[in-house]
A and B are shown apart, each in its own frame.
Chain A
Amino acid sequence: MNVEPANTLLAEGEAQKLLKSVLGRCPERAEAIYLEADEALTRFANNHVHQNVRSRRRSVVLRLFLGKRAGVASTSRLDAQALDDLVERARAMAELSPENPDFGDLPPPAAVQRLAGYVDATAECSPDERAEAVRRVIDPVKKAGMVVAGALSTGSNLVAVANTAGVFAYFPSTASNFTCTVMADDSSGWVDVHARDWRQLDTGALGHKAIEKARVSARPVAMPAGKYTVVLEENAVAELVAFLGWTGFGAQSYQEGHSFLNGRLGQKITGERITIVDDAFDARTLGMPFDYEGVPKRRVPLIEGGVAKGLVHDTISAKRDGVASTGHALPPPNPEGPLPYDLVVGTGEHTVDEMIAATENGILVTRFWYNRVVDPRNTVITGMTRDGTFRIENGKVVGGVRNLRYNESVLDVLARAERIGKTALPTVFDYTRNCVVAPAMQVRDFNFTGVTEF
């Protein structure tokens, strides 16, 4: 028995009616966002399912202006009384807030490029289907004498934005993710794949990849801290590049003076083979076609040929710089300002196998973990390797190594990339849901500063 209807997202006409109803209650200019998510996740550990959840969430977020004053309020209730209360709370906030010259401007309506982001099969995926997909991983893991933990998620999301200047934008989408960590006695292997269509997640094949990583990295040896040639797989590169987005590609951080790009726009800041753009329409991302102000997303070159080229903007930061918004506003209240959510790193000419073959003595890194900023001006971050760290000798992977701590400048790493992968894969970050599409890289003199116990 399936007790759930399939698509529960608010239809376009209903969403428009709802937002119009909210805006109609507002005294002046206002912007209203409707967010809805219907998400399920099957989680497994120790070779069985131990958590299994589904939730339907929704909220209306209102940003209400009184001249140059603004107030933000939100609610999950959609009845008339709740919407009246929502407007009243936002108005109370605005009335008591001092004027801010940055506030009050709303973007005008603009044509939004179509983006097909909704896959029925993902929205309709049942708990039994997820269980069966998980079993395709667990069975071979058991057979290999190993243990697996992970999660398979499927769900649908809706973002609808309207404002009193006439904007209305509506984007339903689906997303799915399969990730697992296979553990042997003293080693582990990890995979993590995202797709709008969950049927593209070949959980059996992904599980085998993780099993193989755990098998090859068994009996890890401790390699001393120092500088090594590394082959960084796609996820590892994405973990590093994401920090450029969080610490400097947003216009607000630049305007406030604490971006790593301050004083460097137009200058060569990394290797000339490095190109990074923000592009929500790249099919490898899980982007949306407009931002949370309803402004169409633009493709923004950020680094071209190693030269710092641009920043992403929302309406407020764009006005400060006298330019147009690039469509990178986040939901209000948003202390961070605009951020790039769909970074795409340019590809090169090599496969990971070719990079390994071209490494005489080095380390292959599956992923980095718990990465944090150390020196924001110089893009130095620290973190650990995890779930698949291998020694390379004479062009071959010869076994596992204990996990290592690194301290590295992201821009320096990109400048020292000797080889760049010919394909790029997306990494989606759990809390922020932003995406980085990155190729693998072979990097010389990667700075490992410590070793852990496993």
Chain B
Amino acid sequence: MKDIAARALDTARSRGASYADARINEERMQFVEVKNGRVTAIADTGSMGLGVRVMVDGAWGFCASAEVNAAEADRCAAVAVEIARASRKVRDTPASLSPLAAATASWETPHEKDPFRTPLSQKVDLLLAADKAMRGVAGLKLATSSMQCWEDKKIFASTEGAYITQRILHTGGGIVATAVSDEDIQVRSYPTSFGGQFESGGYEVVERLDLPGHAQKTAEEAVALLTAKPCPAGESTIILDGSQVSLQLHESCGHPSELDRVLGWEANYAGMSFLTPEKRNALAYGSPAVSIVADATAQRGLGTFGFDDEGVPAQRSDLVKDGRFVGYLTSRETAGSLGLASNGTMRAESWSHIPLIRMTNINLLPGKWKLEDLVADTPDGIYMLTNRSWSIDDKRYNFQFGTEMGYEIKNGKRGAMLKNCTYTGITPRFWNACDAVCDESDWEIWGTPNCGKGQPSQTMRTAQGAATARFQKVQVGVGFKRSAS
């Protein structure tokens, strides 16, 4: 494979490329799903290919192929150069890359149990056990249990001399209980929605989740939600559990921090960002309780790796420090526009895609509160758990989120269960209203396996570390008010 990558680079160079990189990826995914006692999906998919990215006279071209051999390396490199020359015809100022020391390295996701060597029967049995426990709860309509693992063997080589091999493993799973009445559909997920919790690691991730041990409670909560009080409408103090804070971070901090969005590269699709360059080191993004880092070196996150897909080493950098917005997620090309070096966030969905700036692990640093103390400190509010719906505008200001479940908080005590919880706000006002973040005992690095961006569209697995947090004076109860009236 090293020869094929080198061949692509040589051909690109000989045809006029000033820079080229070649990525050869072998990707595998396994998925198992159980619904109401039946194995409804069981799959093992694989894909392999070569992608060649070139810069010619300051313009980009890229070509990818599912055939990995010397002839295709030549062809991809030649096509990529041809495409780059076409790009140059519609480009006034040339692109450039910030400096990078070329690395020769290997990296593998730390793991205890290779998920592709774990017997399939063990996986099926675990899901069936969780399924059985959920279906033991009267009134449940649909029990869904699933797990998924990905392996990505990657080679990166560049004309600057880099040669990096990586083996990245992501594993996880979850359960979903669905309860239905004539008027209502309620769901409860464990440990979180979007298929559950996913991490960098092996099968030990799934074992740690103990899906069967949480199945009965999850199903009971789904059924109870059908008759729970609806979330009130108005202004309220809200406490969000860590998984919901995680998605809030993803949508309202991670995406707007992507420098390609800021520079307008995503304006036609994913959108732009309110975090424009003059706000760096100036904007009070949040309260002093809010500090957020992008940390590809963090343990267990879906954004954990050795090197990004430009060969930049994984690193940790500040996005928000003590409430002040201080940094972006960058690439070699975008970082240079601000006089910076890349902080290593370029990842491609597969060999057939170019790398884009993607979230690594966007972590809200833990605070000092214990969850029970936070509830006790809240005279009147709503505790919301587990994302159910999410929407945000294309500059990442106005958002509306819904959660699967909530609880009233009255006089510092958790009260009645609430259903149909929603809240809405404007990003900087919301984070400036954050007055408490729980400590490490409540902190988790939550996986988001379905982040979309780019044209052609790409899906990426990212993570956000978060603990339970409290926000003051938030508008709640939107969306459902209309149908309840």
Binding site for B on A (CB under 8 A): 1-4, 39-59, 61, 70-77, 89-90, 92-94, 96-98, 100-102, 126-128, 130-131, 134-135, 138, 147, 149-151, 153, 179-181, 183, 188, 190, 256-258, 262-263, 332-335, 369-378, 380, 382-384, 386-387, 403, 405, 407-409, 430-431, 447, 449-454
Interface pair B83/A127, CB less than 8 Å apart:
yes
Contact of B479 among A257, A335, A382 (CB under 8 A): A382
Taking the nearest CB of chain B, how far is it from the CB of A212, in angstroms?
A: 17
Q: Which residue of A lies closest to B141 (CB)?
A: A257
Interface pair A98/B394, CB less than 8 Å apart:
no
Q: Which residue of A lies closest to B61 (CB)?
A: A52
Q: Is B82 an interface residue (CB 8 A)?
A: yes
Interface pair A374/B394, CB less than 8 Å apart:
no
Q: Is B371 an interface residue (CB 8 A)?
A: no
Q: Is B86 an interface residue (CB 8 A)?
A: yes
Which 9 A-B residue pairings sit nearest by Cβ, starting from the closest?
A127-B86, A333-B41, A452-B398, A149-B267, A72-B43, A55-B64, A333-B43, A55-B352, A374-B479
Most buried by B among A43, A101, A403, A431: A43
Interface pair B86/A369, CB less than 8 Å apart:
no
Q: Is B395 an interface residue (CB 8 A)?
A: yes
Q: Tally chain B residues at the interface, Cβ within 8 Å.
A: 92
Docked complex: B135-162 residues within 8 A CB-CB of A: 141-142, 146
* B interface secondary structure, majority: mixed
In the complex, which residues of chain B have a beta carbon less than 8 angstroms from the beta carbon of A56? 64-67
Interface pair B393/A370, CB less than 8 Å apart:
yes
Q: Which residue of B lies closest to A147 (CB)?
A: B264
Contact of B456 among A41, A126, A256 (CB under 8 A): A41
Q: Which residue of A lies closest to B123 (CB)?
A: A96
In the complex, which residues of chain A have a beta carbon less than 8 angstroms from the beta carbon of B89? 49, 128, 131, 135
Interface pair A50/B95, CB less than 8 Å apart:
yes
Docked complex: B386-404 residues within 8 A CB-CB of A: 389-395, 397-398, 400, 402
Taking the nearest CB of chain A, how far is it from the CB of B11, in angstroms?
A: 11
Q: Is B97 an interface residue (CB 8 A)?
A: no
In the complex, which residues of chain B have a beta carbon less than 8 angstroms from the beta carbon of A92? 44, 120
Known: A3-B82, A447-B482. A72 touches B42 (CB 8 A): yes
Interface pair B66/A41, CB less than 8 Å apart:
no
A100 to B456, CA, bound (A): 37
**B262-285: contact bitstring with A at CB < 8 Å (1 yes, 0 no)?**
011111110100100000000000
Known: A376-B185, A382-B400. A52 touches B86 (CB 8 A): yes
Interface pair A386/B120, CB less than 8 Å apart:
no
In the complex, which residues of chain B have a beta carbon less than 8 angstroms from the beta carbon of A179? 268-269
A274 to B87, CA, bound (A): 46
A138 to B79, CA, bound (A): 24
Which of B46-54, B360-368, B463-471 is the contact stretch? B46-54
Interface pair B51/A54, CB less than 8 Å apart:
no
Known: A73-B45, A374-B422, A383-B391. A96 touches B121 (CB 8 A): yes
**B444-485: contact bitstring with A at CB < 8 Å (1 yes, 0 no)?**
000000001001110100000000000000000011101100
Interface pair B398/A134, CB less than 8 Å apart:
no
Q: Is B215 an interface residue (CB 8 A)?
A: no
Interface pair B268/A181, CB less than 8 Å apart:
yes
Interface pair A72/B44, CB less than 8 Å apart:
yes
Taking the nearest CB of chain A, how far is it from the CB of B452, in angstroms?
A: 6
Taking the nearest CB of chain A, how far is it from the CB of B94, in angstroms?
A: 10
